[in-house]
Structure 1
Amino acid sequence: MAGYQNEPPAHRYPMKTVLITGATGYIGRRLTQRLLTGGRHRIRLLVRNPRKVQVSVADRVAIRTGTTFDTASLTAALEGVDTAFYLIHSMGEKDDYRRLDRESAENFRRACIAAGVRRIIYLGGLGIRDSASKHLLSRIETGEVLVAEPQRIDTIWLRAGVIIGSGSASFEIIRNLAQKLPVMVTPRWVRTRTQPVGIEDVLSYLEQAIDLDYRGTLTVDIGSAPLSFQEMLIQAARVMGLRRFLFPVPVLSPRLSSYWLILFTPVPYRLASALVEGLKSETVLQNDHAARYFPAIRPLDYRTAVQAALAEMEHNQVVSRWCDSSGLQACDITDFDDPTGAILRDVRIVPFSQGESQEAVFHSACRLGGEHGWFRYNALWRLRGLIDKLLGGYGLSRGRRQTGELRVGDAIDFWKVVDLRANKRLLLYAQMKLPGQAWLEFDVQPDQLVQTAHFIPRGLLGRLYWYSIIPLHNLVFADLARAVVRAASRE
């Protein structure tokens, strides 16, 4: 069957088959690992691009290729499933994202009922309709669609506020602000209360929801003690051994606040704007169902959750990041992993001797970006990153998930890994703001490195852009290829 890979053999005792949608996203990757570690369920993933599934996971799960908008693939993915996780969210790349979110949820609920799925588990956001931002409102509407037929399918709707974990968007904003700014002039919304929750607690609720003895629809609000964003910043700084001072003022609009965030944190403007809008309204628990139905889970306090997130980063154990996948087009790679249509190219060929093995050169290329930087012309790379940030792009501050490991779908500053072939090829797709599409390819041959910048210009502006930066290419790209080979000799 198309899109079907590696269905694990049936256990000698009955095991439930669990489907995870959004499996290559921030929550989905971690939930997959958690359930595999437990070993009590057969895991099936519904993904748009199976190449984004971690190699360490791919041979232990069943992979189905498709989307919630493709009825045939959705029906095939749900065959024989007992419990289905709905972990799909859009941050509004398109103007009609709310309609698309509702349509996706409607397709999913109907397909689950038709397939005889026992339970849907959905992770949404805290908030109430009257004061919710557009993006929080979309998540509320998604939940309402999923629970619309309680007499035909059980649904557990978990609602979380700020999720604290290594790689989460909220935590990366908090960490970056606390580390970089000893004094902050902040807008009024920093005093708005929410109830943060640690990522490990979120995963515990999701896992235990599979076997919860409950029929019908249950909404469960999860979180630790209420805190304002200001209190979260100050407490996170203290955990890091820092002292910070915040001075709220009434003059910073949401738009100005979003620009302020993108200058000092890894998130782009659209995501920053969505998060700011969400923080303007109080998001606190509306029920005590977490304590009543999940008494074994005692949520970590905020400071402990921050410590755990920092420890993961320090030990290079970040499983997933906010930029792994989402409804944003730029987070997917399906349509961006082949630069053969490029009409403009910059090719650099650097021979290497037996002192620099093919494996070492490939490894050297895979260490680019993040804290390791881009070798000699880092200042020019940083300038390009700043310009990109100001234009609403990712910039260089997004960094990378881990220093030494790469996988397809990982972010490297304002690039995305769209092809990775061990000791042979690394292909990066540009997510910076450009009048066209661009790739940077490292083709490691037995005796030479072929580095190619590919570009598909968009109209006259795209061509003018390419030819105007040729002098910079002659500096940066020529040096980059040589530096990758030189670094390999020191491996």
Structure 2
Amino acid sequence: MADPCKVLITGATGYIGRRLKDRLLNHPELALRLLVRNRHKVRPEVLARVEVVEGDTFSPEALAAALSGIEVAFYLIHSMGSGQDFAERDRQSAVNFRDACIAAGVKRLVYLGGLGVKESASRHLLSRIETGELLSARPESLQTIWFRAGIIIGAGSASFEIIYNLLQKLPLMVTPKWVTTRTQPVAVDDVLAYLEAAIAVKVQGDLVVDIGGEAMSFREMMLRAAKVMGLRRLLLPVPVLSPRLSSFWLILFTPIPYRMAAALVEGLKSETVIQNDHAQRHFPEITPRSYESAVQAAIAELEQDLVISRWCDSSTEPFCDILHQDNPGAPILRDRREIPLHGLDRSLVYAAIKGIGGAEGWGAYNLLWQIRGFLDKLSGGYGLNRGRRQQKELRMGDALDFWKVADLKENKRVLLVAQMKVPGKAWLEFDIQDDRLVQTAHFHPRGLLGRVYWYAVLPFHELVFKNLAEKIVAQAANKSVAPRG
């Protein structure tokens, strides 16, 4: 029996990486290795089936360990919305990874980038093009298969969540004139099929493969998705809606934060259509599904609460990464609440903790949470409408409104790190101790403003945090009562 083909996935906790990893685990002829910044974001059942190297593409040691013995390496990293120096970081990351692949003797590098041409590309699309060029700049030493996709349609993708939220919330939309710009959306499952097939495809030399479905305008995308959802929507293009105003429009009605919204809006002004026929020529077994079929599949995943990954899963984004409470010398301010459990089963309390937020809200004072979320949105943060991947289950790295899951211990502890705009760092901890639930808000203030902020919101803590802890215990108590026959 032949030795398994060793495959490395970078970005394995991101939107595409999570799904590709799950897909490739179905192939016993493959041996998977993941390069991740935090191994705890990988599900325990997956950890038992893969190798994991902690680190990133800026660590030579981590790259050497991750690429040792690898035959095919997937590069699924980009810096959407992450600071002014994102292009330089993308360039350095690509060069580091390419050179490490060559040093390790990797046979094939597979990259997923974006459609577009340099002359009209936005800054972020241009960075993705430059990344592909850098990764494939040494064809004599490393073969590169470079996929270029437009808007990806799938449950949890940023583009689909924008479309879905706008259509659900707004019967009438005033839109920018560039809604007539053409693109070629592609279903996330089709993207995964191409990436999967790239492992064994017989091709000589480097290859650039443009993938996508039918060409259409963004206006057509919205109206056709509305029809699939059984909605009637009216779009009115106007010439005066600037990119900045469009970005604010998105953050008010969708889960997307301002920096990402601004990057997406900038990209929507550029035509992103297929430039070659390499997908049909080299991957004839893959037939891209229709746009309507992709939308239907995404909605089904949402309705069945089976969303595998979301746009905010990526560990390369500063607003999505997990921050740790590991500085013992730092001044930490705390708001601690203890609620007796009166013999309640710990598993019921733990389940109630995991069910907070999202559609369930945050207790009797949910309006105060919503106001805080609205203010957070206005300041460029997430706000509450980011929601959650699934309503009853949490995993390490999941988004939970404007929190992120930083730690989980079964029937014991849930730790959330705040991703709202605050002058410092904040965590919300739920710890089941003996016969009580201990709920603690931790805050590491940044300067005088941080301390002023903490004491200004303390009166609201008395309402919202006390009620939240009581709600959790009450829900667990209700579950413990056997239904009457």
Give the match for residue 436 of structure 1: 424
1:37 Cα shift?
A: 1.5
Distance 1:398 1:269 in 2: 12
2:339 matches 1:350: yes
Q: Does 1:417 align with 2:405?
A: yes
Structure-to-structure mapping, 1:326-365, within 5 angstroms: 326-333=315-322, 335-338=323-326, 341-354=330-343, 356-365=344-353
Q: Distance in 1 between matches of 2:351 and 2:433?
A: 13
Question: How far, CA to CA, are the matches of 1:133 and 1:458 in structure 2?
Answer: 35
Q: Which residue of 1 aligns with 2:133?
A: 144
The 5 A counterparts of 1:34-45 are: 34-45=23-34
Q: Distance between the aligned counterparts of 1:168 and 1:311, measured in 2?
A: 14
Give the structure 2 partner of residue 6 of structure 1. none
Q: List per-residue Cα deviations over 1:372-420 (Å, max 9, x = no partner).
A: 1111111111111100001110000100000111111000000000011
SS at match of 1:376: coil
In the other structure, the counterpart of 2:178 is 189
Moved more, 115-124 or 208-217: 208-217
Please name the residue that 1:301 is paired with: 290
Does the 8 Å contact 1:337/1:418 carry over to 2?
no
| 2:379 equivalent among 370, 388, 391 | 391
TM-score (norm 1): 0.96
Q: Work out the CA distance in 2 between the residues paired with 1:62 and 1:330.
A: 26
For 2:161, the aligned partner's letter is E
The aligned residue for residue 451 of structure 1 is 439
One-letter code aligned to 2:146:
W
The alpha-carbon distance between structure 1 residues 342 and 31, as it changes in their structure 2 partners (threshold 3 A), is farther
Q: Which whole-Å deviations, capped at 9, do the CAs of 1:274-318 have from their partners, x for residues lacking one?
A: 100000010000111101110000001100000001111111111
- Find the counterpart in structure 2 of residue 325 from structure 1: 314
- Corresponding position of 2:367: 379
1:51 is matched by which residue type in structure 2?
Answer: H
Q: How far off is 1:327 after superposition?
A: 3.0
AA matched with 2:461: H
Contact 1:91 1:327 in 2 (8 A): no
- Distance in 2 between residues matched to 1:169 and 1:98, nearest whole Å: 20
Distance 2:55 2:331 in 1: 28
Do 1:26 and 1:168's aligned partners in 2 also have CA atoms closer than 8 Å?
yes
Q: Does 1:161 align with 2:150?
A: yes
Counterpart residue type for residue 479 of structure 1: N
Tell me the equivalent position of 2:270: 281
Aligned equivalents of 1:40, 1:443: Cα separation in 2: 42
Distance 1:14 1:481 in 2: 53
Alpha-carbon contact 1:415-1:430 (below 8 Å) kept = yes
- Checking the alignment, whether the CA contact within 8 Å between 1:339 and 1:439 is kept in structure 2 is no
C-alpha displacement of 1:362: 1.2
The unaligned stretches of length 5 or more in structure 2 are 480-485
Residue in structure 2 matched with residue 109 of structure 1 by the alignment: 98
> Which position in structure 2 is the counterpart of 1:176?
165
Mapped to 1, the partners of 2:99 and 2:477 lie a distance apart of 58
Aligned mates of 1:204, 1:14 — CA distance in 2: 23
In structure 2, C-alpha distance between the alignment counterparts of 1:37 and 1:172, rounded to whole Å: 28
Distance (whole Å) between structure 1 residues aligned to residue 218 and residue 239 of structure 2:
16
Q: CA deviation at 1:471?
A: 0.9
Secondary structure of 2:120 counterpart: coil
Give the deviation of 1:32 after TM superposition.
Answer: 0.3
Separation (CA, whole Å) in 2 of partners of 1:296 and 1:337: 49
Amino acid at match of 2:222: L
Are the counterparts in 2 of residues 92 and 327 from structure 1 also a CA contact under 8 Å?
no
Q: CA deviation at 1:342?
A: 4.6
Q: Among residues 177, 200, 219, which one is paired with 1:211 in the alignment?
A: 200
Please tell me the residue identity of whatever aligns with 2:204: R
Cα pair 2:152 2:160 within 8 Å, conserved = yes
Q: What is the aligned partner in structure 1 of residue 483 from structure 2?
A: none
Amino acid at match of 2:458: I
C-alpha contact 2:17 2:76 (8 A) present in aligned 1: yes
Could you tell me whether the CA contact under 8 Å between 2:363 and 2:464 is conserved in 1? no
Alignment root-mean-square deviation, CA: 1.0
- Which deviations, in whole Å up to 9, do the C-alpha atoms of 1:436-456 show, x marking residues without a partner? 111100011120000000111
Counterpart residue identity of residue 353, structure 2: A
Alpha-carbon deviation of 1:464?
0.9
Residues 343/361 of structure 1: CA separation in 2 closer, same or farther (3 Å cut): same
**Residue 346 of structure 1 aligns to which amino acid in structure 2?**
D
The within-5 A match list for 1:82-121 is: 82-121=71-110
Q: Distance in 2 between matches of 1:289 and 1:429?
A: 44
Alpha-carbon separation, structure 2, partners of 1:20 and 1:363: 32
C-alpha deviation, 1:40, in angstroms: 2.6
Cα deviation 1:225-266 (Å, max 9, x = unaligned): 011111111111111110100000000000000000000000
Q: 53, 56, 69: which one pairs with 1:64? A: 53
Q: Distance in 1 between matches of 2:216 and 2:324?
A: 41
Partner of 1:480: 468
Unaligned runs of 5+ in 1: 1-11
The answer to whether the aligner puts 1:230 opposite 2:185 as a matched pair is: no
- Matched pairs, number: 478
Amino acid at match of 2:95: E
Query: How many angstroms apart in 1 are the aligned matches of 2:331 and 2:179?
Result: 46
User: How far apart are the structure 2 equivalents of 1:389 and 1:487?
Assistant: 30
**Residue deviations 1:178-197 (CA, integer Å, cap 9, x gap):** 11100101001211110000
d(CA) in 1 for partners of 2:420 and 2:376?
6
Q: Is the 8 A contact 2:150 2:212 kept in 1?
A: yes
Instruction: Give the letter for the 2:308 counterpart.
Output: V
> 2:28, 2:269 → 1: CA distance?
41
Q: Show the 5 A alignment for 1:72-83.
A: 72-83=61-72
**Aligned-residue offset at 1:337:** 4.5
Cα shift at 1:339 = 7.3
Distance 1:325 1:114 in 2: 27
The answer to which of 211-220 and 322-331 deviates more is 322-331
Residue matched to 1:470: 458
Question: Is this contact kept in 1: 2:36–2:315, CA < 8 A?
Answer: no
Kept after mapping to 2: 8 A contact 1:358/1:445: no
Letter in 2 for 1:317: L
Q: Which amino acid aligns with 1:394?
A: Y
| Identity over aligned pairs, percent | 62
Residue identity in the other structure for 2:433: Q
Query: For residues 106-155 of structure 1, what are the alpha-carbon distances to aligned partners after superposition, in whole Å with 9 as ceiling and x for unaligned?
Result: 01111111111000000000000000000011100100000001111110
Query: Counterpart amino acid of 1:13?
Result: A
Aligned partner letter, 1:369: G
